[in-house]
């Protein structure tokens, strides 16, 4: 069965804006990308920006180079962001703690997925809001581009500065029961 068509409806990228921001601060969301062997990997994110640039709807994610997800994104140039509005706490904790280098998180957690409609990256069908994104720009943060000494000191005492991946939103989905 095609779950995206039956249990979700396609929506404008901005429909869940407030809920996404709230959930990012309350427990996070899943960033899914595919590794060079074609294996999907999910990591928990707490930071993401939804907005417009180049007249495109964008979702920007910040990923440190040490994450396995970083290598996946460099490889495939596509990702999905999957937002549970309730529950999935155990899964969020696990994906925010374990690395895809060491464990197959999809397998370990039994994450239920289906391939995205517009891109070749899985979406998590137990989430409430889903974004399919194509990377259109990539920017490595550098110490000199951070003008706040507080931010630099608090978030980057050991370097490992985030890369900003700007994803053009190719499709956004919302679970029907949440409509």
Ligand X SMILES: Cc1cc2nc3c(=O)[nH]c(=O)nc-3n(C[C@H](O)[C@H](O)[C@H](O)COP(=O)(O)O)c2cc1C
> Which residues in this chain contact ligand X in the complex, by CB under 6 A?
28, 41, 43-47, 62-64, 67-69, 96-101
In the complex, least distance from residue 124 CB atom to ligand X, rounded to whole angstroms: 15
Task: Give the Cα separation of 53 and 148 in Å (integer).
Answer: 24
**Tokens linked to 88:** 């999935």
Q: Identify which of residues 91 and 132 has a Cβ nearer to ligand X in the complex.
A: 91
Q: Identify which of residues 5 and 139 has a Cβ nearer to ligand X in the complex.
A: 139
Q: Identify which of residues 49 and 53 has a Cβ nearer to ligand X in the complex.
A: 49
In the complex, least distance from residue 176 CB atom to ligand X, rounded to whole angstroms: 27
- For 83, residues 6+ apart whose C-beta sits below 8 A from its C-beta are 16, 19, 20, 23, 24, 29, 30, 127, 128, 129, 130
Q: Identify which of residues 67 and 170 has a Cβ nearer to ligand X in the complex.
A: 67
In the complex, least distance from residue 96 CB atom to ligand X, rounded to whole angstroms: 3
SS3 126: coil
In the complex, least distance from residue 67 CB atom to ligand X, rounded to whole angstroms: 4
Span between the terminal Cα atoms of the chain, in Å: 21
In the complex, least distance from residue 9 CB atom to ligand X, rounded to whole angstroms: 27
Q: Identify which of residues 115 and 141 has a Cβ nearer to ligand X in the complex.
A: 141
Please give the residue whose beta carbon sits closest to ligand X in the complex.
Answer: 96
Helix, strand, coil percentages (3-state) for the chain, rounded to 5, are: 25, 35, 35
**Tokens linked to 87:** 């529950």
């Amino acid at each position: 069965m095609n779950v995206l068509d039956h249990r979700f409806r396609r929506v404008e990228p901005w429909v869940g804006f407030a809920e996404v921001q709230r959930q990012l601060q309350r427990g996070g969301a899943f960033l899914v990308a595919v590794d060079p062997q074609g294996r999907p990997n999910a990591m928990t994110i707490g930071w993401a920006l939804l907005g417009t640039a180049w007249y495109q709807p964008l979702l920007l994610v910040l990923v440190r180079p040490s994450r396995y997800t970083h290598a996946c994104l460099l490889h495939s140039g596509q990702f999905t962001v999957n937002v549970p509005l309730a529950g999935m706490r155990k899964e969020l904790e696990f994906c925010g703690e374990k690395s895809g280098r060491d464990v197959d998180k999809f397998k370990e957690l039994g994450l239920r997925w289906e391939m995205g409609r517009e891109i070749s990256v899985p979406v998590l069908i137990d989430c409430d809001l889903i974004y399919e994104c194509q990377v259109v720009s990539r920017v490595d943060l550098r110490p000199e581009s951070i003008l706040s000494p507080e931010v630099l000191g608090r978030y980057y005492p050991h370097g490992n500065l985030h890369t900003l991946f700007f994803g053009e939103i190719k499709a956004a989905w919302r679970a029907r029961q949440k409509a």
